[in-house]
Structure formats: C-alpha cells, structure tokens
Structure 1
Amino acid sequence: MSYDDITQQMEEQLPFTATQTLTDADETRRKICSGGCNRPVNVCLCDKIPQNPISTTTQIVILQHPHEQRQKLATVPVVKKCLQNCEIIVGRKLREGSSQTLDSLYHGINDSAQFDPIRRAVFLFPGTELMPSIEINEWRSSLNSTCTNGIVLIVFDGTWKHAKEMMFASLPFISKFATRVCFDCDFEVGGGTIYDSDLILKKEPFKGCMSTMEAVARALRVLEPSGGEIEAKLVEVLKSMVSLQACYLKTVKPRKKC
C-alpha cells in the first residue's frame, strides 16, 4: 500500500467528513467537546490532557504551516494544551516580528549588552552532508547544566515537503541565533504507519520521522531536568489520540507487487 493510499484512507475514516450525509450518528460525531480539548466528542482527550499545563524551563516555538490548521489529525493544538510555555505561529517562515521570544534572541546576538549567553536556541530538523545537523543528545552533552536553563526549542509543523520549505525560508533569520539539531533518522528506509505503531497518526515518509507532538516530547526528555516525566505524560496523550483514531480505520492489506 502506498503512502497516498494509507493517508487517503485515514482522512476518509476520520470521526466525520464534510462529504457524508448527516445521520444522528454523524451529528453526534460533529459535536465538539466543550470540556477543554475542543475535539469531536467521540475522540475527546479531556481525561488525558493535564488539568494544569506542564511547566517547562524550555520555551517551545512551533511554526505551523497554514494547511495544518485544517488537518483533523493535527497534534499541535493538543501540544499547546499540554504545555505552558508553548507558542504557535501559523505561517510559512519565521522572520523578524514573528515572535517576541525569537526577536529577543535575534537582536540580542547583535547587542552584547542585552544578549544573555546562557539563553540558547535550537531548531529540530534532520541534517544532510551539505548542511549537517548535530544529534540533540550530543548537543546537550556539550553544555553544562546551567546552560540548559531557558533554552528555546523551534519546531516546524507540516508535511515533510512543507517542513523543508519552512525551514529553508526561515534559515536567514534563525541561523543567526539557533543551532540545528536532530534525532537519528534514515532517509533510505520507509517510515511507519498507524498500523504498526501506537505513536503514529499517519504514514511517515522515512524512518525516524515522527509527529510534532512526539518530537517535542522526545526533545524535552533531553532538555528538561525532569524530561523523562514530561515525555511520558505527552506520549500517554499521543497514544490515546492514536488509539481513538485507529477505531475509525478499516483493516487493509498491502497491494501485491507485480
């Protein structure tokens, strides 16, 4: 089964779609939970999302592609509800004026009187031979414990194609103050699907790819003093999202190769 086949089926089996003829069951699925998660009632996550957003020393800044706002499987709104220090910017590039947090870093680099050398920033994106990226654990181990206070984590939310476009468009701005970090990945191996992982909501393009929510969770495990606990809480919510979504998928068999 191809990437497009699996993704299309997932979209078709969502809790509701715009093309369905409405029945009483459809009307129920269209109801939005008013308890806090703002998701369809039959995939409500209110019992999983922390009542009090988790506080972190890390400031998370997520650039979300405009198309992702319309995706029913998006994890970013849930990340925002789970984490206290999380800022979402909808757009196609980061630039001066996008975020006060990033602007302070950008201008601080050029103003030694205002720049705080302890405050550092990283952006998550796999590297290439021409543009290498340092593995996030390796980057973290190069710092002492004091230097991890007030780190800014920048994440790009979109399809792989859109994420690359957003990252490259943002480079002239963020490269002034942020280091490119990554998790281990393999571009030569296909990514997983919801059928073989309890953390994947849709087909990933290659091994090592993950949802924005999982990426933030894995990064906070490395960056935060109590990162293991924070990661576990976020992963628990993500697993619940995947489990609920899986209820709306039909079991399919891969196409036979000719």
Structure 2
Amino acid sequence: MRSRCARCLRARCLCALLPEAPLAHQVELVILQHPLEQHEVKGTARLLALALARCELRVGEQFSQPPNPEGRTEALLYPGEPAAAPPGTAPQHLRLYVLDGTWRKSRLLLHRHPWLAALPRVNLAAAAPSAYTVRKAHAAHQLSTLEACAAALQQLEGLDPAPLLQLQARLLSALQAARPAPTVPPPGGSGGTPGS
C-alpha cells in the first residue's frame, strides 16, 4: 500500500495546491464525511477543510451533535424541507453542517441522524452548475462539497468564492495530469482487415 501524506491524506500529496494560509470566514462549517469518501481521490472535503480557517471535518457513519457552548444557530446545507436559512442570524453566530458522500450515502447519513434532519436547511440560491467534471452529476444542483460550501459562504456572508473555486480547478488539473495516457493501438494492429 502506498504511503499517504499525513496532512492531505493523498498518496500523491496535494498540499502544494492549498493557499499559504487558511482563508478567513465567519460561518463555522462542520463537514460530516462518510468513511468511504475519506480516501476518495476525487473527493474535495479534506482539501476544503485544510483551506478554511473555521472548518472541521469529521469522518464516520454515526455522529453525536457537537456541544454548542456559544449558542450558535445551527443549520444544515442540504436541499429540501424544512427549507429556511435562519433569518437574521449573523454569520459569526452560525454553525453549518455539510454532508460529504454520494447522494445515496448523504441521504443515509441524514436518515440515521434525526438531530440533523430536524435542523433548518440552507438551500443554495441559483448556484452555478458543477465545474468539477471528474465526478458525474445527475442534476444541475449536484455540486462537489467544495463548490457547495463556497456557494453557501458566498450566500451567507458574502465571501468571494474565487479562491476556493481556484483550488478546485487546480485539483481538477492535478487529477487529469495524473491520469495514465490512453493507449493507442499500433498501426495495422486492429480495427479490421487491410483493404476492407
């Protein structure tokens, strides 16, 4: 088994893609990641957590609700009902939970955690379709975790999403560069008989 970077958890270290210092923002993010996503080469959650100053990444299938001694308003970034971003909540007083996994796995995480399902939802307003082409989206609203969080921070606190989207673009380039080149059959080696 190939060794992994202790920081980004990648066999091919991607730490050089990260900003020099974590990006400042006000909303506290808690990413709840399904274990099958932890070492997914195309996953964006780990790099997102390293790129942001107030972002915690938790991996598992069962999560207890973290203590909230500062009394932050809590919400879930997830489409559907109950849909209501907490009105009038100052960004620095908001804790936003994000589920990281396939749509099937994220629905399973939501089903297993009634405390999450009961939270008010933050729905993304007119988010652009995903530019993360290494993962297939079945609908326009299906974004990478990084894209969804960038759009949410822009919507909730006016954060410029460009640095995060640039990070994703650099990740996409690195993944495409690491792909093995397609093999080309030798001339005359296949594809029919000569003269046919």
Amino acid aligned to 2:14: C
Say which of 81, 96, 103 aligns to 2:67: 103
Say which of 174, 177, 200 aligns to 2:116: 174
CA 217–249 in structure 1, closer or farther in 2 if over 3 Å, else same: farther
**2:188 equivalent to 1:245:** no
TM-score by length of 1: 0.60
Instruction: Using the aligned pairs only, state the percent identity.
Output: 27
Greater helix share, structure number: 1
**2:133 equivalent to 1:203:** no
**2:5 equivalent to 1:62:** no
Matched residue pairs, number? Answer: 179
Distance 1:243 1:124 in 2: 27
Say which of 88, 91, 115 aligns to 1:143: 88
Say which of 149, 165, 187 aligns to 1:216: 149
Structure 1 unaligned blocks of 5 or more: 1-17, 19-29, 97-101, 106-114, 186-191, 252-258
**2:91 equivalent to 1:164:** no
Amino acid aligned to 1:79: L
Cα RMSD (Å) of the superposition?
2.9
**Deviation, structure 1 residue 182:** 1.8
2:150 and 2:164 in contact (8 A); partners too:
yes
Amino acid aligned to 2:146: M
1:201 and 1:211 in contact (8 A); partners too:
no
State the secondary structure of the residue aligned to 2:67: helix
- Name the counterpart of 2:14: 44
State the secondary structure of the residue aligned to 2:168: helix
CA 173–132 in structure 1, closer or farther in 2 if over 3 Å, else same: closer
- Name the counterpart of 1:108: none
**2:79 equivalent to 1:126:** yes
State the secondary structure of the residue aligned to 2:22: coil
**Deviation, structure 1 residue 200:** 3.2
Structure 2 unaligned blocks of 5 or more: 183-196
State the secondary structure of the residue aligned to 1:210: coil
Structure 1's consecutive aligned runs of 4 or more residues displaced over 2 angstroms after TM superposition are: 30-34, 36-41, 93-96, 131-134, 147-150, 197-201
Amino acid aligned to 1:208: H
- Name the counterpart of 1:6: none
Query: 1:36-79 CA distances to partner (integer Å, 9 max, x unpaired)?
Result: 655455x7351x31111112221110110011113121111101
Query: 1:58-102 CA distances to partner (integer Å, 9 max, x unpaired)?
Result: 111011001111312111110111012111111124324xxxxx3
**Deviation, structure 1 residue 173:** 1.6
1:45 and 1:240 in contact (8 A); partners too:
no
Amino acid aligned to 2:148: A
TM-score by length of 2: 0.76
**Deviation, structure 1 residue 121:** 1.6
